[in-house]
A and B are shown apart, each in its own frame.
Chain A
């Protein structure tokens, strides 16, 4: 093609029709960063880390004279409680902020350990091969073949509820995906010439793994980890909602929703805000993960 300059675009206010494609691209094929999602992820992380110094009240501080206060902007609302209070008069916003810490901490810890465990097993399966590979691959298949909540419930039944056990449950339900991913990455990297060359040149196995295989697999692991944040938050909140997850006095979004169930009739805000927090957080981490996936591997979306 010769250089063809399109007719100079007339400066005008962008119409609705002109904005739509841009939004659509932003959700599908665009590789520009999803700024809103990144911003929200950052906000949640800040809440998780500095929660106590940001929150207007302590998460357990009950105000028995102002129980089930609606959000501040409604008629019966009261200003210090921006998002209202729950049945014990605890500030919703403060509890949401405190919940961010639990949700992110459990998800983060579980993903970190599951990622390392899965990566190690995947490396062993892919690099060593043989019967180890067969055993690990079978295990991975079995773990991925079952609805994860079943496994989670079976584990909770055995271990009991509580934060540490929830993390353990999430590790057990998550490691298999990393193992499968890393194994297939190792298999494809193994075929590449430079690994063969490195081996011929007498480079030791740990060094090959460290220098060549891990960096290659890192991008995919990172994407999977980001997408797992959403999955883990939903799993944790589901278990907590059932009363099988985080236990009071700890606070989590799922637990807040379990409390809210009894007050649906007259306090919609106790149910609405924790849920919105979950949805917004999960969507933000998901679209960040999707964006990274597109950046790393544009073919995945063609």
Chain B
């Protein structure tokens, strides 16, 4: 099963490399962008030869692919350093932010979802639904702006931008995790309600197991499989959200890198960012798939 997943991921990745390559070539010749206005025709020819732009399309793609495998994405037009280095500089802050947000939304989402599933109160039911539907509708960058107004300007508790101390993480992480949290709450509640109806939960209660054990150990463990898969899928959305959230909080991550690269038409960096992010996303999903297999004794054997 894991093998077929790997194969699937490889096909998707190949498709993506092709897409990225075609898109970059679609825009035409990058030479005028890179070379200064007083460049001669010889300069142009040299540039094209240097970047392999004079060869035919298929050859160019194959070169692109083979360079990929040696982790060569080309040099950034803008910074004149390997594009991969530019991307790797941004990946740390982004991963920290995304990882923290994933943890927050995982813990808060599962805790509140479990609480909502156990609670019989209509008020809780209503609140959960309301939070969930708001969570699906609020763009993270706007939430970020509101957080800045509230917690950096009106009540100056947390810094509104920058990177470094723990305090810098609070607003971006909370902003970014809001969307994922609201959907994890919803999913956890549905799965917990389902699990709490199962026969073995009834059996355990009848045998006198404490309610805490029945809910937190047995029902939650059984409900956790779809939740783990879902949290993995949320990682993609968190990465997408991070790109925008980083802009709001001037967070020096991949989002800033790619937006800057797009505004400056720095194609090698764009390609590298898109492909590295895609690899990250596929890796996380692969890890999640494996995790689910490890967690479920029925799949393990």
Question: Which residues of chain A have a CB within 8 Å of any CB of chain B?
Answer: 17, 20-21, 23-24, 27-28, 138-139, 141-142, 145-151, 153-160, 230, 234, 237-238, 241-244, 254, 257, 260-261, 264-265, 268, 271-272, 274-275, 278-279, 282-283, 286-287
Besides A149-B244, A158-B26, A275-B146, 12 more A-B contacts (Cβ < 8 Å) are: A27-B129, A145-B12, A146-B236, A151-B19, A156-B262, A157-B23, A234-B139, A243-B263, A257-B141, A264-B148, A272-B146, A275-B145
Contact A271 B24 (CB under 8 A): no
Residues of A close to B261: CB separation below 8 A: 157
Bound together, the chains give a CA A155 to CA B22 distance in angstroms of 10
Q: Which residues of chain A are within 8 angstroms of B24 by Cβ–Cβ distance?
A: 157-158
Report the contact-size class of chain B (Cβ under 8 Å from the partner). Answer: 35 or more
Scan residues 128-173 of chain B and give those whose CB is less than 8 A from a CB of chain A: 129-130, 133-134, 136-139, 141-143, 145-146, 148-149, 153, 160
A149 cross-chain contacts in B, Cβ below 8 A: 240, 243-244
- In the bound complex, CA of A50 to CA of B244 (Å): 32
The answer to whether B240 touches A148, judged by C-beta atoms less than 8 angstroms apart, is yes
Complex interface residues of chain B between 183 and 227 (CB less than 8 A to chain A) = none
Q: Interface majority SS on B: helix, strand, loop or mixed?
A: helix
Asked if B259 and A287 make an inter-chain contact with CB atoms under 8 angstroms apart, the answer reads no
0/1 string, B250-264, CB within 8 A of A gives 1: 000000001101110
- The segment out of B56-64, B118-126, B292-300 that lies at the interface is B118-126
Given A24-B129, A27-B126, A238-B139, CB of A139 within 8 Å of CB of B23: no
The CA-CA distance from A27 to B9 in the complex, in Å, is: 38
Q: In whole Å, how far is A198's beta carbon from the nearest beta carbon of chain B? A: 36
Q: Are B137 and A283 in contact (CB under 8 A)?
A: yes
A257: chain B residues within 8 A (beta carbon):
141-142, 145
Cβ of A277 to closest chain B Cβ, rounded Å: 10
Q: Are B133 and A287 in contact, with the CB atoms below 8 A?
A: yes
Nearest neighbor of A265 in chain B, beta-carbon distance: B153
| Nearest B-chain residue to A281, judged by Cβ | B137
Q: Do the beta carbons of B142 and A146 come within 8 Å of each other?
A: no
Nearest CB of A to B94, in Å: 13
User: Nearest Cβ in chain A — how far from B276, in angstroms?
Assistant: 10
Q: Is the CB of A147 within 8 A of B259?
A: no
Q: Which residue from chain A places its CB closest to the CB of B262 in the assembled complex?
A: A157
- Are A238 and B244 within 8 A (Cβ)? yes
Shortest Cβ distance from residue B17 to the other chain A in the assembled complex, whole angstroms: 11
Q: Which of B9, B19, B244 contacts A154 (CB 8 A)?
A: B19
The 7 closest A-B pairs by CB, nearest first: A275-B142, A149-B240, A158-B23, A282-B137, A147-B236, A27-B129, A24-B126
CA distance A27 to B124 in the complex (A): 13
B11 at the interface (CB under 8 A from A): yes
Q: Which of A23, A237, A242, A260 has the most CB of B within 10 A?
A: A242
Within 8 A of A (CB), among B228-278: 236-237, 239-240, 243-244, 247-248, 258-259, 261-263, 265, 267, 270, 274, 277-278
Interface residues of B in 9-65 (CB under 8 A from A): 9, 11-12, 15-16, 19-20, 23-24, 26-27
Assembled-state Cα–Cα distance A254/B23 (Å): 25
B138 lies within 8 A of A279 (CB): yes
Q: Are A271 and B149 in contact (CB under 8 A)?
A: yes
Known contacts A238-B139, A275-B146: A147-B239 contact under CB 8 Å: yes
Measured in the bound complex, the distance between the Cα atoms of B135 and A286 in whole Å is 12
B281 interface hit (Cβ, 8 Å): yes
Main secondary structure of the interface of A (DSSP, over half): helix
A148 to B237, CA, bound (A): 8
> Do A27 and B274 form a contact, CB below 8 Å, given A158-B27, A257-B141?
no
Please indicate the chain B residues that have their CB under 8 angstroms from the CB of A155 in the complex: 23
Let me know if B66 is at the binding interface, CB within 8 A: no
Q: Is B8 interfacial (CB 8 A cutoff)?
A: yes
Q: How far is the CA of A17 from the CA of B124 in the complex (A)?
A: 12
Closest Cβ of chain A: how far from B148's Cβ, in Å? 6
In the complex, residue of chain B having the shortest beta-carbon distance to the beta carbon of A144: B12
In the complex where A24-B125, A238-B244 touch, is A271 in contact with B136 (Cβ < 8 A)?
no
Which residues of chain A are within 8 angstroms of B244 by Cβ–Cβ distance?
A: 149, 238, 241-242
Q: Shortest beta-carbon distance, A290 to chain B, in Å?
A: 8
Contact A24 B122 (CB under 8 A): yes
Minimum distance in angstroms from B113 CB to a CB of chain A: 15
Q: Is B137 a contact partner of A260 (Cβ separation < 8 A)?
A: no
Min CB–CB distance A237 → chain B (angstroms): 6
19 contacts between A and B (CB under 8 A): A27-B126, A138-B15, A142-B12, A145-B9, A146-B281, A147-B281, A157-B265, A234-B139, A237-B139, A238-B139, A241-B141, A244-B262, A264-B145, A264-B153, A265-B153, A271-B149, A278-B138, A278-B139, A282-B136
Which residues in chain B, 106-125, are within 8 Å of chain A measured between CB atoms? 122-123, 125
Is there an interface contact between B142 and A244, defined as CB atoms closer than 8 Å?
no
B contact residues around A268 at 8 Å (CB):
149, 153
CB distance from B301 to the nearest CB of A (A): 29
Instruction: Please tell me if the beta carbons of A23 and B126 are within 8 angstroms of each other in the complex.
Output: yes
**Residues of the B chain whose Cβ atoms lie less than 8 Å from the Cβ of A260:** 145
Set of chain B residues within 8 Å of A274, measured between Cβ atoms: 142
In the complex, what residue of chain B is closest to A283 when comparing beta carbons? B137
- Min CB–CB distance A221 → chain B (angstroms): 21
The answer to whether B137 touches A261 (Cβ under 8 A) is: no
Q: Given A146-B12, A157-B265, is A238 in contact with B146 using a C-beta cutoff of 8 Å? A: no
Closest partner residue, chain A, to B269 (CB atom): A157
- Who on chain B is nearest to A17 by CB? B122
| B248 and chain A: residue at smallest CB distance | A261
Distance to closest chain A CB from B179 (angstroms): 10
